[in-house]
Each structure stands twice: as structure tokens, then as C-alpha cells.
Structure 1
Amino acid sequence: MSGGASGAASGSASGAAPGSADAPGPSGAAPAVSGTPKGVGVAWALLGLNTLGSAGAKTVVPLPRSLIQMGTMGALVAAFALALALNPRVRIRPSAFVFLLTLLLVPSLIASVQLEVGLGALFRCARLALFVATLWLLSRWWDGSLTFVRYHVRMYFAVLVLVAVGLAVAPGTALPEYYGGRLVGALWPLTPPQIGQYAAVVIGLTVLLLLGRRTGGAGAALVIVPSLVLLAMTHTRTATLGLVIGLVLAIGSLVLTSGAARRFFAWAVLCAAVAAVVFSSALRTWFLRGQSQENFSNLTGRAKVWDALLAAPRTPGEEAFGVGLSDKSFDGLPIDNSWLAVYHEQGLVGVAIVAAMIIALGGVALLRPPSLPRACAIFLIGYCALSSYTEVGLGDASAYLLHLTLAASLLAVPAPAAPLPAADTPRRRVPRWARR
């Protein structure tokens, strides 16, 4: 989403030569950029690497957490440096989403300087600031096209390939007992929810590209089928429900304008009904993951942590701005809820800003005419909104913020084309008689 509802491109750094590719047009908006440099995709992949995290499952070759953190932070610094090299004049597009994300730095910094959660809070603030700055630099190439969707799918499918290689090399490590036999990263410390999230997003976006005839059936099958297998092996309910509901919303936005979407929707409903009848017992077993009804009803113990967090005493300052960016835990237990994590770390101000981010994206998506980019954006917004109930990440640099940023880029309006430079304007031949 660019510029709230308008999506106009930004005017820029002074000193651009008249008629150059960076010179503002008559309205002061930056002209459309011809093509997207390959380095933009590299910068996007580096941002994805930064959000993989450094804690999770045990790997085949033990990797020190400090070494992984150096790699992920190095990826973020490299992404910023590359984006700055590609956009040295700092040409940006106004974006309500990235503006609100920048505004989220205010309560984060106010709470973190108190050092209630240690020096790590300031480090996380610096990481978030660098993450947001890189997004601003990359916003120059947001034009509502599917370019960044392809970057996103390739990036996370590469992560899934790494997971599959780990499963083939060390199946015992990839399906550990301490995770109940659920799939984890054997080569990089990825948890089942992370793998499930990446698989669900890759599947959803690839299905939409297939419906929009932007990819072939064979190529889509090579991505969708193995990703579905990995998703099933993670036993991740949130990712599965997010995939289904996100696709329902996205395809529903296309049914009035796309025959392929209508046919897919009809077949999906039929297959779901047959599966619900034939495989009801197996589906129920997979969904419960061997848990008791009581454990399932309190969301695997999450509800107890949530109740304790809400009941904890807070000062007025903590109520407004939180306690600072932390590791998304409370009393040593994971919070596993984006809204409560934001409330705990950035207070009610942070919750209001994050809610405004989601509402702004959703509102602009509803105002856009039906299209494939709009459907992809709706899928990502729906998926992140549903996952926020049992996953964290909306208040800090994470894969969820990267998904929502992709949605914002898909909702951007293409910038106006640059005017023809005066030096290149063809001159009219003046007849000799007219010169007198």
C-alpha cells in the first residue's frame, strides 16, 4: 500500500538533473522506474534471512547461537547497504504501512531505554530501525506488480528445500521426540511453526499465480506438492487454517472476474467435503496431535501465560509504552500471541499502531479493483491476521512484517512515467519561408 489510498510516488532528493530518470515529474512525484535491478531481489532475500531467527531445534551440526546471530544481523546490514547502493538518492514512495511501522519505533525506543529487559532491547530497536530503513529504500520499486511475489516465493521455497535436505540427511534429527515427531530444521534451527508458515505462504501465493496464469502447471506442482508434504509433517494448525482461510478470501475476491478462480473454488469445496467425510478420523487425529481435550482447549498452555501476562501489575508508563523489546516471552514462557506481545513490549500505543497497520492494508485492499496482485495481498493480510492469535511477530522485525510489506507493495499504484527529456525531444523542421 502506497501513500494510504493514493499510492503516489515520492518526490525526492534535490539535485536530480532535469530530464534524468530520477527527476520529479510535473506533479512532484517520482517517475516510474524502468525495470527492477536484480540486486533488489538479493536485498529482499537478505531481509528474509535476517528473520529466520537464531533459536529453535537442534541441528545435525551444532551451530553456536552467537554465530547464527552474526549471520542474520550481517544479512540485515548487507541488505541495507545493498538497498542504499541501488538507491543512492534515497528515492522513496510514500507508504502509510511503512510510515506506521516507522512510528512503531517510538514506543519501542521509549520503553527500551528504561532497560527493564536489558541491553538486548536497544539492540532489537536498532535492528527494527535498520529493517524499516531498508524497506523505505526498497519502496522505490513498489509498483503493484508481482515482482516481489516471485522474490518471496523463491526465497521461502529455498528455505523449504533446505528443510527437505535436512530431512533426507538426518530424519531422526528432523523429526525429534521433544517436538512430538513434528518436522524441524535439521540444518538450520527452524521450529515447526516457522516451517509451517513458510510452506503455507509459498503454497498460497503459488496457487494464486497458477490461477492468474502467471506460472505453468508443472512448475506450480513442483512447488506446491512438496510444500504441502512439509506442511503436513509440521502438524502446524495455525499455518494450515491460515492457508485455507487466506485462500478462501483471496479466491473469493476473484470469483466475479475469473473463470479459473470460480472453477478452482468449486473443485476445492467438493474435495474438502469428500475429505471431511472419508478422512474425518485421520484429520481429527492430525489436528489434535495426540493432545487431550483440556490441553487443546487452553491452546497447549498458551491461555495460562496470557492470563498471567494480563494480570501482572503495570505502571502507567508500562501500560502506555510497554517494557521494551524482548524475546517475546513472559516469566520465561513464550507469549505466542502477537497482540499480547505488542502490548507487553510496546504498550497500548503499540497495539493501536499495529491495529492501524492491519486496518490500513485491509481498507486499501477493499478499495482496489479485482486483480491478481490484490488477491495476493488479501491472502497475505488474512493469513497474518489469523496467525497473529497464536504467533508473534507483528511488533518486531519478522517474517510476518515481511509478508505484510509484500502486501503493501502489491497495493501500490504504479508511478507516472517520466516526461520526455527536453534534450531528446525531436525538433520540428521549420520551412525556409517561415523563418523570414
Structure 2
Amino acid sequence: METGRTPKLVGTVWGLLILNTLGSTGAETVVPLPRSLIQMVTMGALAVAFSLALALNLRLRVRASAFLFLLTLLLVPSVISSADLESGFGALFRCARLGLFVGTLWLLSRWWDGSPTFVRHHIRMYFAVLCTVAAGALVSPGAAMPDLYGGRLVGALWPLTPPQIGQYAAVIIGLALLLVLSRQTDRRSAALVIVPSLLLLVLTHTRTATLGLLVGLTLAIGSLALTSAAARRFFSWAVLCAAVAAVAFASALHAWFLRGQSEENFSNLTGRAKVWDALLAAPRTVGEKVFGIGLGDKSFDGLPIDNSWLAVYHEQGLIGIALVATVFVVLGGVALLRPPSPARACAIFLISYCALASYTEAGLGDASPYLLHLAVAASLLASPAAATPRVTPEPPRRRVPRWARTPEVT
């Protein structure tokens, strides 16, 4: 496959995919935005992303990818379960959206070469999203921290929930920190991303994102410790600071972690466990167990499922769970077999973050930020494309007239 510089429009396509996965529900914004308008913008972004990707890759050159192959297979149970319209016409619409989403990733796979290109696109685009959150907090602090969400930070300009903001902040903090530890960016640029993102993460009071960030960084930096002195120094200082903070600010950390909830509510995962028990106890036919009931809004009886594995089981059945589990096995196995490198560390961070967040967040079975995180991990684990050697043409031979030729000596 030919190698070359990644076109700048690839970053635009990636930003449009991120815009498509922002969702259309959340907090009330300063300027009320009709849900139909938001859905028009997000779906239009996906259509434009696919069109741009196709224009950039008219010859349909793609990289072989087990990750994308498994996502393509995930469309099979999605379409089968949605075809009977038990979940309404919206299920088929979501299948079309997932197909267009995966198709765009296939077109972009041409530029998956193990470089941090898509990591940088990921950081830039999500940081731009967080800038809108910060702007909303400055414009209207009351709307950005409403009582409805317990004073947690939400999107006041675009309807974003605290878990969404926490997820975006945690992911780009981890990636930026790994880039600066591996000396692939300067400290000033990393600080401009990490410091404000960390402040927004704290204001969201999102426990899943915080734990995912800590666990993901621990595994990622651990994978660099044998080959990077900077990683070893950072890991040692981080452990020391964490121990001091745990002793000095134990009560404050405990209060932040509980978010004013009772111990019973905390142990019940803010009511999630009741929804999970009801979902598992609901009667299902053999077909519904195997293929699910069709792509929906990741809810059960009007309540959010907030668990990727149960959401996939509910909508895409046991086949969907097997395919999503295989995605993690394949990506994790490839990451473990690769030698230590910054790309491997970033991939380990993203894979471990998504695996931990899947317990309390849904999205692994449909077009979502989590699939984009895993797509970045897949791009980091891809082998560099082999450059096509250039063949230098031989200069044309000069034709010598017959009368000017040297006579042969016999």
C-alpha cells in the first residue's frame, strides 16, 4: 500500500464523526435547541463525513482490520432483530446510521498506520467540545450547574450530560499525558489541554471517568516503565502524591466520591442495579435472546440501562455480546503482543478505559464515542504501511546513425 501524508480533511471527517456521537438529549441549554434540529445536525454530520471520506478514498483502499470486520458483523444481529419492527422504524434508522458509521471508519482505515495522527485529531476535537462546555459555564453558571443534576457540570450551549463531559475530559487528559511522557508533544501544549480538562472533570463529579482515567493511565504508564525513564519517574511521583492525598484529604475525597448520596444508594449504583435486575428477569423468546429486540435508545421500561453489556444483550442478543467481547480480546491481545511504545501505551489506555466504563455506561453496540475510542486504539495498533518502491526509469538510449558507428575489428 502506498504511504503518504494524511490529508487535512481526514481530521475534518473525524470531527464530524465526533459531532454525530454527541447525542441529542441532555441538560437544558441557554438557548433552547429543538431535538429535531440537533438530530438533523448530528445525522447531517455523519452523511457529510461519509461523503468526504469517500471523496478522499475514491479507489476504496482500506486496511485489513479485525476490529472493523467485527463491527461489520455486528450489523447482522442488529438488522435481523430490527427487521420485525418490534422497536419501531427507529431501529432500522439506527441500523442505517451504524452502517454508515462503520463504512466511514472503513474508508478512513487507509490512513491507519500506527502513528499518533488520529490521537491528535481525537484530542483536538474533544477539546473543542470541552471549550463549548467551559464557554457555557462562563455565560450562564446556573444553567451549566443546574440543581436537576445535583450541581454537576453540564453543557449549557450544547446538551451534554455530566458523564459525557467527564468521559471526554478523562480521555484527552490521558492521551495528552501519554504524548508528553513519550516526548511526542511539548509540555506547554499538553498543559493547555490537561489543566482545563482536569478542572472540568472535577466539576462533573463523574466517578466512572475518574476511575477509568486512573486505571487506564496506570496500565498504560506501566507498559512504558521498562523503556522510558520519564514514565518511571512520573509513575513514582504519582504513587507518592496519591498516597499523600489519600491520607491528607480522605474525608474530602470520600465526600466527592459519594456526591451527597447515601451508602445504600451508592452500593445500588444510583439505581442502576434495579434496572439491570428487571432487564435480566424480563421474559424473552429464543430469538430475542440470540439476536435481541433491535437497536433502540439504550433504555428498558423508559429507564436508561447504563451498562454496555446489558444494552447489547437487550438490543443485539448473545451474538452481539460475543462480537463485542471479541473486539476487546482482539485489541487487547494485539496490544499485549506489541513491543513497548507510545502507540501501544495509548492503545492500552483507550482499551482499558472503555472496558472499565462499559460497566456503567452504554454505547459499545452502536455508533458512540466508545467505538471512536476503540477505533483510535485500532489505528495505533495497525502495522505501518509498506512504502511502494519508486522505480527510476532508465534514460532512453541515444540512437547512433549507421555512418557514425565504430566498425567492428575482426
TM range (shorter): over 0.9
Residue of structure 2 in register with 1:366 after alignment: 336
Measured after TM superposition, the shift of residue 427 of structure 1 is 4.2
Structure 2 residue 51 is the aligned partner of structure 1 residue 61: no
Moved over 6 A (4+): 432-436
Paired position in structure 2 for 1:252: 222
Deviation at 1:419, TM superposition (A): 2.5
Q: Deviation digits for residues 199-225 of structure 1, max 9, x if unmatched?
A: 000100000001011111111111101
For 1:116, the equivalent position in structure 2 comes to 86
The letter of the residue matching 1:142 is W
Unaligned runs of 5+ in 2: none
CA contact (8 A) 1:32 1:414 kept: no
User: For the residues of structure 1 that align with 2:131 and 2:394, how far apart are their CA atoms?
Assistant: 53
TM-superposed deviation, 1:128:
0.1
Match of 1:17 in 2: none
Which of 46, 67, 71 lines up with 2:41 in the alignment? Answer: 71
Query: 5 Å matches for 1:5-404?
Result: 31-404=1-374
Local SS of the residue matching 2:212: helix
Match of 1:425 in 2: 393
CA contact (8 A) 1:92 1:136 kept: yes
Aligned-partner Cα distance in 2 for 1:253–1:134: 31
Q: CA deviation at 1:361?
A: 0.3
Instruction: Give the Cα separation in 2 of the matches to 1:116 and 1:84.
Output: 33
Q: Which moved more, 1:98-107 or 1:412-421?
A: 412-421
User: How far has the Cα of 1:425 moved from its partner?
Assistant: 2.6
Equivalent in the alignment of 1:14: none
Cα distance in 2 for residues equivalent to 1:420 and 1:220: 38
Q: Quote the offset at 1:315 in angstroms.
A: 0.3
Q: Distance in 2 between matches of 1:104 and 1:269?
A: 40
Tell me the alpha carbon deviations over residues 352-373 of structure 1, each in whole angstroms, 9 at most, x when there is no partner. Answer: 0000011100000001111001
Which amino acid letter does the alignment assign opposite residue 310 of structure 2? L
For the 8 Å contact 2:3–2:386, the answer to whether it is kept is no
Shift, 1:435, TM fit: 12
How far residue 429 of structure 1 moved from its aligned partner, in angstroms, is 7.5
Distance 1:374 1:270 in 2: 25
State the alpha-carbon separation in 2 of the partners of residues 67 and 253 from structure 1. 45
**Partner amino acid, structure 2, of 1:376:** C
**For 1:119 and 1:435, how far apart are their aligned partners in 2?**
88
* Residue 408 (str. 1) matches residue 378 (str. 2): yes
Q: How far 1:426 sits from its partner (Å)? A: 3.9
* Letter paired with 2:357: S
Deviation by residue 1:307-334 (Cα, 9 ceiling, x = unmatched): 0000000000000000000000000000
Deviation at 1:382, TM superposition (A): 0.3
Query: TM-score of the superposition, structure 2-length normalised?
Result: 0.97
Shift of 1:434: 12
From the superposition, tell whether residues 266 and 331 of structure 1 become closer, same or farther in structure 2 (CA, over 3 Å).
same
Structure 1 runs not aligned, ≥5 long:
1-30
CA contact (8 A) 2:205 2:256 kept: yes
Q: Distance in 2 between matches of 1:386 and 1:251?
A: 17
Summarize the Cα distance change of 1:256–1:435 in structure 2 as closer, same or farther, 3 Å threshold: farther
Q: Distance between the aligned counterparts of 2:4 and 2:149, measured in 1?
A: 48
Contact 2:15–2:125 (Cα < 8 Å) also in 1 = yes
Partners of 2:26 and 2:161 within 8 A in 1: yes
RMSD: 1.6
**C-alpha displacement of 1:33:** 2.2
Q: Distance in 2 between matches of 1:429 and 1:379?
A: 59
Distance 1:434 1:190, change over 3 A: farther
1:218-262 per-residue CA deviation (whole Å, 9 max, x = no partner) reads 111111011000000000000000000000000000000000000
CA distance in 2, matches of 1:239, 1:296: 16
| d(CA) in 1 for partners of 2:354, 2:68 | 16
Q: Distance in 2 between matches of 1:82 and 1:278?
A: 53
Q: Is this contact kept in 2: 1:195–1:234, CA < 8 A? A: yes
Could you tell me the TM-score, scaled by structure 1's length?
0.91
Rounded Cα–Cα distance in structure 1 between residues aligned with 2:309 and 2:116: 30
Percent identity among equivalent residues? 74
Distance 2:99 2:394 in 1: 47
Change (3 A) 1:118 1:259: same
